[in-house]
A and B are shown apart, each in its own frame.
Chain A
Amino acid sequence: MKKIIIIAGLILPTFLFGQLDRSIRPTPAKAPTINIKDSEVFTTPSGITVILSENHKLPRVSFALSMGSDPRIEGTKAGMSDMSGSLILSGTTNRTKDQLDNEIDYIGASINAGKSSISLSCLTKHMDKGLTLMSDVLMNANFPQTEFDRIKKQNESGLLSAKSDPGTMAQNAESKVNFPNHPYGEVMTEASLANITREDVVNYYKSTFTPKGSYLVIVGDITKSQATALVDKYFSKWSGGEPYKMESGDGQFNKGNRVIFVKKPGAVQSVVQISFPMKIRSGETNQLPLTVLNGILGGGGFGTRLMQNLREDKAYTYGCYSSLNVTEDGSWMSIGGNFRNDITDSAITQILFEVDNIGNGYVKDEELNLTKSSMAGGFARSLESPQTIARFALNIIKNNLAKDYYQTYLKRLESINKDDVLTMSQTYFTAKNCNIVVVGNEEIIDRLKQFDTDGKIEFLDAYGEVLKEVKKADITKEELISKYVLAVTQTTSMKAAQKKMKKIKSYEEKTDLSMSQVPFPLKSTKVWVSPSTEAQKLEGQGMVFQKSFFDGTAGASTNMQTGKKDMTAEEIASKKKAIGLFPEMNYATSGMTYEMVGIETLNDKDVYVLKLNDGTTESFDYYDTKTFMKLKSLSINKDGDEVTESSSLFSDFKDINGLLFPHIVTISMGEMAFSGKVTSIVVNGKVDISLYK
């Protein structure tokens, strides 16, 4: 313990105010020496590389374990690894989640887990107990179904709130456009979340959390002999297979600038993020000069070109920064800030100017020196955190750096000159292949076209998925319905259509269905009898799997496995709203709620979108804007919390008794998909409805 300094009575020289020339700036004293203590590194028989950095300033210790597996592409299950990470602390074979949470909090510790890491931080006096818990989680996490369901539901809500957070929206768009088909381009959506099962999560955890190739970084108030003993005690029983390895690409390089817009109704500010990928990986020699370049452009601090221009000079923003991300699996540059609506375009102009301008000539000596000094200072300040020293050791091992890489860091930094910086901007920056992501109010869209090389702004949704553009329809919903009726009945007036339909008394349609999951052919039959009886059955291999009927007032459906179920009053009420061979003919009187959404594109065709609600189900119908034929029908079925979409695509329209019917129908329900070929349509034939009851 240091002596307490009592300074009473101490005599100090007195400066008289006037004698001090305040315009003279202090000169620095001799630069302090920076000593980076070597970390201890050893390997366990099971393949864990242990890195130990002792620091006895505070009585704390941390154990951070990271896996040797590479990130994966998850595609339709995007978010699976994150789900797995957030479930690791959900209980073990020895402890329920409640017990685990309680025991962790009891010692004031924190244990965190991610998709490929798990770490413990606690006071040194509690480390034995802390490691007991950490190693239990590591080896015995059991992913209870209830917790899986809960976290899944939580993620659903999380996705909803992410939809209102402009920063997340911009981030999602940025990842998607820079890194398609790359682990960095994975964004969880409602659909991908729905696809994730508990088995996926367990399998991911089992294949990823394996000692081979993993790193255990121990930092803090602990000695080597303590560390060695603890590693042996708590991690020697941990076993597993080979880590997952995959080479990720460099991302997608554009020809020209793309403007990507994400709509945020009501926004008072736009989030702008201008980004592009770069071909460089962590540990490469260029990383340091590139970091200097980023520092001059906008990598933090108030003195950067971006801050001086956009904040100090033009007062466009509270902050505008560039961030350089160089990693083992892909690298990119991202520049951005928040700007009020009316100057969003001006801000983009200035950012693009700065990105371009920095490659047009040498940077100034002052800014180079400023950045280098600021990086040197940042390096010194970072040494205050014991974690830094451990991270250095980890980087040296992971990236095959020279053993004295960080000892010589300041010397290498000092030697970087203007030529090096110019080479960097000319190698990695062009300002001509930027992804300009803007999240904001639609009112500013027109002013963004100028930045897009081909003048076409792309619209993405909150998750970075392509947004279906909706145009305003040029006809009303009533006009659409009558045009459709005229088209299918091939008549020129509603009167003529009604007259023609009066002659139709019954209808029977047989369809052959094939489905990849079912090895034998399926047949479906659909019938209708005037005015409001209809029925349907699905059969194959001599068995009827499912049948249903409705006679205008009551109905039922029969499933081979679950038996017969009468229609509920609610279902009947809904069904009544969509009755008829062409239910559209009755919308005006049946009570169906319908509205025109606008014009979207469907397989390169413009279609009118009609939104329907029959009281229980919301659905959408899509009509060709040229032929007025119905090309698609999509309904959203809610059963409790479960939401499934089912859709049918119609094509190959043929004339039967003067009416047009589709002859190819593709149906998808949730994960199942059928393709159907209509084999026969009989109009006004005999129909036996009892076959369907």
Chain B
Amino acid sequence: MKKIIVTGILAIIALSTQAQKKIEYLEYDLPNGIHVIIHEEHATPIVAVSILYHVGSKNEIPERTGFAHFFEHLLFEGSANIGRGEYSELVEKNGGTLNANTSQDRTYYYEILPSNQLELGLWLESERLLHAKVDNTGIETQRSVVKEEKRQRVDNQPYATFITEMFKRMFTVHPYNWAPIGSMEHLDAAQEEDYVNFYKTFYVPSNATLSIAGDLNVEETKKWIEKYFASMPKGQAINLFRDFENLSDDDFFKRYSVAKSKFDAKDFMNSKSPEAKRLITSYSNKEVEIRRPQKDSEKMTGVIKDVIYDNIQLPGIFMGYKFPAQTHPDTYALEMMNEVLSGGTSSRINKTIVEKKEMATFAFSFNYGLEDAGVGIMAAIAAQGINLDDIQKEFDAQIDLMKNELISQEEFEKVRNQFENNLVSSNSSIAGVAENLADNHVYYGTASRVNTQLENYMKVTREDIQRVAKLYFTQDARVILHYLPKEK
């Protein structure tokens, strides 16, 4: 009998003064390592089925960038039981919708389906995890599609390269050095084998979080999860099974010194032959090693100033500071500080730089928080005829003010109210709830943070905000990028 482990029981926190309504859920681990989160809610007859794979561009090697994002595309190509192009068709035909996204830290897949199609969603996701099609036909097609995506979303969009350019200069050691879109040359240079290995390393049960939310029956859902997910081989046995399905008799024998015929095709894990049994047991006990970079510890030592020429009309300035990883307790204060600077029309940056001084058509600051590091970004698109250095002076004046004076009590109340409103809104859809639960489990080690987030923001004091401004706005260590129009 396999044990089901309860990893999380909700701590009940009374948030009586706040408007946030508590999100109920249950979670457990399957023996093969898949983490399961279920949230039941019957307001609308739909369900969201999602899997978060803890792999992003930071898990790539510098010679093969863009792989994580490429897989986001490739894994819609089908599986051993799903034909090419059929994956999305199955979802759409059954009234659902699907998509996926990739960050530096994770790859996230989801379907939103009518609630009577929950089992279909679970089967689809289990097929993707167990034995997705990773072959040359799919690789070729998706290579072209990804190149088009890069042209459309990065190369042809004004200012869109700023994250790539900023991170490249800020992280010279950590793989945040490159953006998830990666290098097209790397994708071209990679062989089928490289892709297969990436799949075998990162698309394994122990790296997956299955998060389900919506109009569902918990007992029935758990039965289906047992059926489609708990049954999957554990450890390296999943790759043994994949090789069994994909390799020729010869190749399989070369690799494992056991003939394929020793295995039971219909009941692989219960193959009778002793050689097969031995191999299955030993591979089940072998963990899949996942390379994860060290947390970023590189300190910026000076000011890096560069000019980027882009297809734009108005110059833009983008400044970047090293902020801590998103799990760092200072993140709450930093985000509130950004809200003072840039949240809403009455924010400081908007009032001064955009409205009063009319120096920019658009100006903002935000915290690009990631698992291993954060980047504080301050940016503006200049108004006609305005010098970027003058905008920088204005930004610097705002930073000085933040460092030298406590924010007013009124501003403080304002940002608290704004956070309360934002957090209430962030859980308004079941798809959003499923994603928030998964994110919090993976990054913060506990899904329950969805219910304590507001409390953490409310603990931040005005002094905290001043302290983090002083600590992280390092004027002598930052990146300053000037975007200028390309000569026509």
Contact = CB atoms under 8 A, between A and B. Distances in A.
Interface stretch (B165-173, B249-257, B285-293, B416-424): B416-424
Nearest to B121: A26
A106 B46 CA distance: 35
A317 to B, nearest CB: 5
A1 B97 contact: no
Contacts of B45: 32-34, 380
Interface string B335-347: 0000000011111
Interface string B346-357: 110001000100
A22 interface: yes
B94 A16 contact: no
Interface stretch (A368-376, A532-540, A610-618, A654-662): A368-376
Interface in B380-436: 381, 383-384, 410, 413-414, 417-422, 424-425, 427-430
B231 interface: yes
B148 A338 contact: yes
Contacts of A110: 344
Nearest to B416: A108
A16 B92 contact: no
A107 interface: yes
A233 interface: no
Given A58-B21, A109-B421, A338-B151, A16 B267 contact: yes
Contact of B314 (A57, A126, A161): A161
B97 A265 contact: no
A34 B116 CA distance: 12
A15 B144 contact: no
Interface residues of A, number: 96
B92 A29 contact: no
Contacts of B149: 318
A266 B346 contact: no
A228 B280 CA distance: 69
Contacts of A376: 95, 114
A5 to B, nearest CB: 5
B194 interface: no
Given A60-B424, A157-B361, A14 B2 contact: yes
Nearest to B350: A101
Contacts of B343: 105
B89 interface: yes
Interface stretch (A163-171, A279-287, A449-457, A522-530): A163-171
A101 B44 CA distance: 35
A507 B4 CA distance: 105
B231 A15 contact: yes
A267 B486 CA distance: 12
A157 B314 contact: yes
A688 B40 CA distance: 97
Interface in A372-424: 373-374, 376-378, 380-381, 383-385
B46 A160 contact: no
B95 A302 contact: no
Contacts of B122: 26
Nearest to A150: B358
A235 to B, nearest CB: 24
Given A7-B6, A26-B123, A98-B351, A378 B148 contact: no
B118 to A, nearest CB: 8
Contact of A18 (B119, B141, B230, B268): B268
A151 to B, nearest CB: 10
A380 B264 CA distance: 43
Interface stretch (A67-75, A204-212, A307-315): A307-315
B95 A374 contact: yes
Interface string A556-598: 0000000000000000000000000000000000000000000
B156 interface: yes
Interface size class of B (residues with CB under 8 A): 35 or more
Question: Which among B130, B232, B358 has the highest number of chain A CB atoms within 10 Å?
Answer: B358
A346 to B, nearest CB: 13
Given A58-B428, A315-B145, A380 B345 contact: no
Contacts of A7: 4, 6, 26, 28, 222
B267 A108 contact: no
A156 B384 contact: yes
A311 B143 CA distance: 11
A318 B155 CA distance: 13
B302 interface: no
B16 interface: no
B85 A302 contact: yes
Contacts of B119: 26-29
Interface in A236-264: 264
B314 A370 contact: no
Question: Which among A32, A160, A339 has the highest number of chain B CB atoms within 10 Å?
Answer: A32
A164 B158 contact: yes
Contacts of B372: none
Contacts of B384: 153, 156-157, 160
B81 interface: yes
A587 to B, nearest CB: 27
A114 interface: no
A2 B40 contact: yes
Given A20-B227, A108-B417, A32 B215 contact: yes
B313 interface: yes
A104 B346 contact: yes
Contacts of A97: 355
A123 to B, nearest CB: 5
Given A28-B117, A266-B488, A317 B148 contact: yes
Interface in B80-126: 80-81, 85, 88-90, 92-97, 112-120, 122-123, 126
B114 A32 contact: yes
Given A20-B227, A105-B414, A302-B88, A381 B270 contact: no
Nearest to A295: B92
B384 to A, nearest CB: 5
Contacts of A104: 344-346
Interface string A640-651: 000000000000
Interface in B1-25: 1-2, 4, 6, 9-10, 12, 19, 21-22, 24
A26 B218 CA distance: 18
Contacts of A8: 4, 6
Given A123-B19, A123-B420, A164-B311, 10 more contacts: A4-B12, A6-B26, A12-B222, A13-B223, A32-B116, A57-B43, A60-B424, A98-B351, A318-B153, A373-B93
12 contacts: A17-B231, A17-B233, A32-B115, A34-B45, A57-B43, A58-B424, A123-B19, A268-B155, A269-B152, A315-B144, A376-B114, A381-B112
Q: Please provide the 10 A-B residue pairs with the shortest distance between their CB atoms, ordered closest to farther.
A: A377-B95, A18-B267, A315-B144, A108-B421, A32-B45, A302-B88, A101-B346, A26-B119, A108-B417, A105-B344
Interface of A: 1-2, 4-8, 10-20, 22-23, 25-34, 57-60, 89, 97-98, 101-102, 104-110, 122-126, 150, 153-154, 156-158, 160-161, 163-166, 264-269, 301-303, 308, 311-312, 315-319, 338-340, 366, 369-370, 373-374, 376-378, 380-381, 383-385
